[in-house]
Amino acid sequence: MMTSYTLENRPLPSHDIQVEEARCSQNSSVDIDPEVFRGKYQEFVEQSPKVIESLVPDQESKEEAIDKLITGNIASFQQEYPIIAGYSDEDYTAMQDTTETLISMAESMSEPERTVYLQAIEARKQEATLIVAMRDYKAATDPIAKEVAARRFMETNIALYGEPDKATYESLLGEKIANIFHKKRSQNAEVIFQDLRNLLPEDVRDGTRAQDRFRPSAETMQWMNNVVHGLYDNMLRHVDSYIEAHKSELQIESQNEAAVKIQPTHLRDIFRNILAEEFLALSKGVGEASQTGDTQGVQTVIDLGDIVTRSVEKDTGWNVEVTEAKSINVDPDTRCVRIPQDREAMSVNEVKRLVVHEIGVHVLTQMTGNSTNLEPLAQGLAGFNDTQEGLGKAMEHALEGEYQEAGIDHYITAGLAYFDGKDFKGAYDVKWRLKLLESLKPGQEPTQAEINKAKQWAANTTMRIYRGTDDLPLFKDLCYYNGSKEVWEYLERICGDDLQLSLLLAGKIDTSKKHQGVILKSRST
């Protein structure tokens, strides 16, 4: 069983409260050169551990753990995390020292700059605390030390990412159970189904906890479909043109798009092409406008030179690489898009969704935020994560013209851990059975290959929630479900208002009036 913690453990104080306490503890009244402050802030960003990057396990330990899990030869699922293990107390102390310096320097700043920076600093401080808690938990051999680290992890985890809602968890899981409850099952499928029910709490075994949940209107979906094509068609054309230019390499024998499988290296090239041709072309247009005086408020113009002869990295500051990673991620701090080298081949539609999500939302909002005087707008205001991921998912849904609840499996895994006390293997045992039974046709007998496929999927998705400790649930991935719901509810309220929508793309913010106010008060650089 996982190290115990109680639902009564409340999160640390909110960012706002902590920031105000820290601010009030400082007595500096000395005016600080903004450039000096920003230089110090950039140093702080570089010192801050990168949560997503830190959560990538050692490949050998990962493969060994998954193999033992699937074959049943495992008591506890455990991996090694080199970056987490290597994060030293000295690293943490140096970051804390820089934190105190920045808080003191920020005292002389005006609003909204001071609050924005202080909240961003506090969020990164908590991320570092989370990494330390993960490190200490994995390293602890004494039960008391392990419990202390577990409590610190859960408190910081909830403060940063929130916690699952029990009613939502039971509804999502209940709906899946209800969908298979009355399905005709073969003899072996029935055994698996009964095993699944025995692994679940009594009140969700029959699927009666399913309930109606929010869906956007057809009008809102149509509006967003038009918006997405208007925003991203120039980016998306690169997918089709790349496929056309690489027919032989992709082994395309027909015009059937569904048959095309795009490898991680192909996705990297497509992303690079978009960054080079679309973002640079946009910047060049701004430069040409400046020569005629039609800059529309743009204060600084970058001379791009010859687009053809210069690299993506040099021109945009962005790098796209295929590397060891858990999932595709966009790092606004280092301006790097990382694509897992072991990611399975992708369909054309999947690649187009990734273009919209990763480039059209994550990269674009870094660039728009970076064009202001507030660096956190490029890296994310405190609490931005749900909205950012939700916006990415909403754009994917709008592209295909069909609403889908996002992150359901992540939410269910988090609920299994948080509410039902499942450890990694306990959650995995539920998930592979659920996945298998969902995939079977009425009366179909499951084959060993189908069982192994469901187990492989369950292992990979369960890791997303337990990563970092392999025992305790990390709630970061709740952002897909929560954020998608938040964004679509926001879009429903503003349906047809392009200006309100544009604010979500002007930097990495949430849907609140407070964050929108920061955008409107920021200055272009």
What was the pLDDT predicted at 474?
98
> Using 50, 70 and 90 to split pLDDT, how confident is the model at 205?
confident
Beta bridge partners of 372: 524
> Does position 282 have pLDDT exceeding 80, yes or no?
no
What was the pLDDT predicted at 379?
92
> Does position 303 have pLDDT exceeding 80, yes or no?
no
Q: Is the Cβ–Cβ distance between 407 and 397 less than 8 Å? A: no
> Does position 428 have pLDDT exceeding 80, yes or no?
yes
Q: What backbone torsions phi and psi does residue 224 show, to the nearest 5 degrees? A: -70, -30
Percent of the chain with pLDDT over 70: 85
What was the pLDDT predicted at 337?
96
> Does position 502 have pLDDT exceeding 60, yes or no?
yes
Model confidence over 344-382: pLDDT tens digits?
Answer: 999 999 999 999 999 999 999 999 999 898 999 999 999
> Using 50, 70 and 90 to split pLDDT, how confident is the model at 296?
very low
In angstroms, rounded to a whole number, what is the distance separating the alpha carbons of residues 492 and 217?
7
In angstroms, rounded to a whole number, what is the distance separating the alpha carbons of residues 484 and 232?
19
Q: Which residues contact 58 (CB under 8 A, 6 or more apart)?
A: 79, 80, 81, 82
What was the pLDDT predicted at 250?
78
> Model's pTM, two decimal places?
0.85
Return the exposure string of 235-245: e unless at least 16 CB atoms fall within 10 Å of the residue's CB, then b.
Answer: bbebbeebbee
> Does position 27 have pLDDT exceeding 70, yes or no?
no
Average pLDDT for residues 152-175, to the nearest whole number?
95
What was the pLDDT predicted at 31?
67
> Does position 408 have pLDDT exceeding 90, yes or no?
yes
- Report the range out of 36-50, 134-148, 259-273, 295-309 with the highest average pLDDT: 134-148
Average pLDDT for residues 485-489, to the nearest whole number?
97
> Does position 231 have pLDDT exceeding 50, yes or no?
yes
Average pLDDT for residues 210-220, to the nearest whole number?
89
What was the pLDDT predicted at 311?
35
Neighbours of 256 (CB within 10 A): 9
| pLDDT greater at residue 257 or residue 71 | 71
Average pLDDT for residues 305-316, to the nearest whole number?
37
The residue type of 401 is G
* C-alpha R_g of the chain: 24
What was the pLDDT predicted at 32?
72
In angstroms, rounded to a whole number, what is the distance separating the alpha carbons of residues 209 and 203?
8
What was the pLDDT predicted at 210?
66
- Give 3-state DSSP helix, strand, coil % of the chain, rounded to 5: 65, 5, 35
Model confidence over 440-474: pLDDT tens digits?
Answer: 999 999 999 999 999 999 999 999 999 999 999 99
What was the pLDDT predicted at 74?
83
Residue 322's region, left for phi above 0, alpha for psi from -120 to 50, else beta, is beta
| pLDDT greater at residue 42 or residue 355 | 355
| pLDDT greater at residue 278 or residue 301 | 278
Percent of the chain with pLDDT over 90: 70
> Does position 287 have pLDDT exceeding 80, yes or no?
no
> Using 50, 70 and 90 to split pLDDT, how confident is the model at 14?
very low
Model confidence over 117-157: pLDDT tens digits?
Answer: 999 999 999 999 999 999 999 999 999 999 999 999 999 99
What was the pLDDT predicted at 233?
95
The mean pLDDT of the chain is 86
Give the DSSP per-residue string, 277-339.
IIIHHHHHHHHHHHHHT--TT---------TTTS-HHHHHS-EEEEES-SS-EEETTTTEEEE
184: tokens are 């005709």
In angstroms, rounded to a whole number, what is the distance separating the alpha carbons of residues 505 and 391?
9
> Does position 12 have pLDDT exceeding 60, yes or no?
no
> Does position 286 have pLDDT exceeding 50, yes or no?
no
